[in-house]
């Protein structure tokens, strides 16, 4: 399969670090030094499905396809306002899709997990065109009294249209199941029968361990997808790394020994938008005209699960 269209959409409200200083014991200096983040887009009066719809429509327009051309829709999302139906069904209705729709909750590597699922459908000959939308609002998961987590996140949606072809050359998805490093608990409705204690908790994260895991796992994944194709790090034109923290991206870049210009970033004014991060990054730099035909792009993402994934794409 190959990528023939991309799109993205961001909430209109921009929150600067200085805005956070007003109600949190934090500073612009701490946030920039530890994360690289200066501002982020956060959901205010929008609904997440509107961002997902906008990103999808832009990607379809970019691909020159109509909603009726799509044979499968995959939506990547961790939380949204609906328990059911899946966010994908809501976006599908807004876009006018008629094809099967499935939702995946694979946290930050969700875009690459979706590519892997789509790849299997193409290889089985079941589809001609697939739409992937990653729509996330992690700012609704954290406590805004917890300075160690809320400063990290931003919201948004990114989309890609895939069709038959040779562009996506190698994908690796993997897991090191460890639900205690990043997790959030949401109690369900009480019933007359439930006797266990259920207390809701905002996002909990062991930042240091996640940091170490992210750098190690990303390098392993990148080397694996390149080795599968007989390539080395030097053959890659651009690395599109999940925008979790500029220091994580820097750690990966330095260990791989790659110059800065091969690592496009947008975390500075986006924060971490979970699975939407990679497709937003792709769309923004594509629209800036960064990628040339034949360029080799490597995606790498890691997050809750712990899940990790990488993909090699020839543009
Ligand atoms: N402002 C000021 N001080 C702060 C802030 C803040 N926003 N946040 C934490 N601190 C303090 C801590 O309280 C601590 O103080 P103490 O020493 O008095 O206890 C001190 O700063 C150092 O805290 P650490 O947590 O050790 O700081 P660290 O350098 O590890 O940076 C961070 C924290 C940014 C979270 C880092 O560990 C990180 O980026 N981890 C990876 C997170 C990530 O990428 N998650 C992605 C997955 S998310 C998902 O999948 C949903």
Please give the distance, rounded to the nearest whole angstrom, from the Cα atom of residue 200 to the centre of ligand 1.
22
Beta bridge partners of 134: 76, 158
Q: Is 215 helix (H, G, I), strand (E, B) or coil?
A: helix
- The β-bridge partners of 183 are 204
Calpha distance 282→8 (Å, rounded): 9
- Ligand 1 atom closest to the CA of 151, numbered from 1: 7
| 111, 299 Cβ separation under 8 angstroms | yes
What pLDDT, on the 0 to 100 scale, is given for residue 266?
Answer: 98
* 9: its two tokens: 């959409």
Instruction: Tell whether ligand 1 has an atom less than 6 A from the beta carbon of residue 97.
Output: no
Fold designation for 2-166: Peroxisomal Thiolase; Chain A, domain 1 (3.40.47)
Q: Is 33 in the pocket of ligand 1 (CB under 6 A)?
A: no
Crossing angle of the two packed helices 277-287 and 110-123, in degrees rounded to 10: 80
Nearest to 11 by CA among 34, 56, 44, 49: 44
Cβ(304) to ligand 1 under 6 A? yes
Q: Which atom of ligand 1 is nearest to the CA of 26?
A: 1
Report d(CA 279, CA 185) in Å as an integer: 27
Hey, which of 141, 211, 248, 273 would you mutate to test ligand 1's pocket, going by the most ligand atoms within 8 Å of its Cβ? 211
| pLDDT value for 82 | 96
Asked if 106 is an active-site residue, the reply is no
H or E segment to which residue 302 belongs: strand 296-303
pLDDT at 226 (0 to 100): 98
Domain residue extents for the chain: 2-166, 171-314
Average pLDDT per block of 10 residues along the chain, 315 residues long = 98 98 97 98 97 98 98 98 97 98 98 98 98 98 97 98 96 96 94 95 95 96 97 98 97 97 98 98 98 97 97 97
Residue closest by Cα to atom 29 of ligand 1: 34
Among 207, 212, 215, the mutation site with the greatest number of ligand 1 atoms within 8 A of its Cβ is 207
Same fold flag, 2-166 and 171-314: yes
Q: Which phi and psi (to 5°) does residue 290 adopt?
A: -70, -35
Does the pTM surpass 0.75? The reply is yes
Annotation says 41 is catalytic: no
Q: Supply angle C-alpha 158, 214, 311, rounded to 5.
A: 50
| pLDDT at 223 (0 to 100) | 97
Distance CA 106, CA 39 (A): 25
Domain at 171-314, CATH homologous superfamily: Thiolase/Chalcone synthase (3.40.47.10)
Residue 237 contacts residue 295 (beta carbons within 8 Å): yes
Q: Under a CB-based contact definition with an 8 Å cutoff, are residues 19 and 182 in contact? A: no
């Amino acid at each position: 399969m190959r990528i023939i269209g991309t799109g993205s959409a961001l909430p209109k409200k921009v929150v600067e670090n200085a805005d956070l200083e007003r109600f949190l014991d934090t500073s612009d200096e701490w946030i920039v030094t530890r994360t690289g983040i200066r501002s982020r887009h956060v959901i205010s009066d929008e609904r997440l499905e509107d961002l997902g719809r906008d990103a999808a429509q832009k990607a379809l327009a970019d691909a020159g396809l109509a909603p009726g051309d799509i044979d499968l829709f995959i939506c990547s999302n961790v939380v949204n306002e609906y328990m059911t139906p899946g966010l994908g069904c809501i976006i599908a209705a807004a876009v006018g899709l008629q094809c099967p729709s499935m939702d995946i909750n694979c946290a930050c590597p969700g875009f690459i997990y979706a590519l892997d699922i789509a790849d299997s459908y193409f290889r089985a000959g079941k589809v001609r065109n697939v739409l992937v939308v990653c729509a996330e609002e992690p700012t609704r998961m954290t406590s805004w009294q917890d300075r160690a987590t809320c400063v990290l996140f931003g919201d948004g949606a990114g989309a890609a249209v895939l069709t038959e072809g040779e562009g996506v050359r190698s994908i690796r998805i993997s897991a090191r199941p460890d639900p205690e490093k990043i997790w959030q608990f949401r109690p369900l409705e009480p019933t007359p029968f439930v006797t266990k204690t259920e207390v809701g908790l905002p996002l909990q994260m062991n930042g240091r361990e996640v940091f170490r895991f992210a750098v190690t796992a990303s390098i392993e994944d990148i080397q694996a997808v390149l080795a599968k194709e007989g390539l080395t790090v030097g053959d890659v034109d651009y690395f599109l790394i999940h925008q979790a923290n500029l220091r994580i991206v820097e750690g990966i870049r330095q260990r791989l020994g790659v110059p800065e210009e091969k690592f496009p970033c947008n975390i500075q004014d986006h924060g971490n938008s979970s699975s939407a991060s990679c497709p937003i990054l792709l769309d923004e730099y594509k629209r800036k005209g960064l990628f040339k035909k034949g360029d080799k792009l490597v995606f790498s993402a890691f997050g809750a699960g712990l899940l990790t994934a990488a993909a090699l794409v020839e543009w």
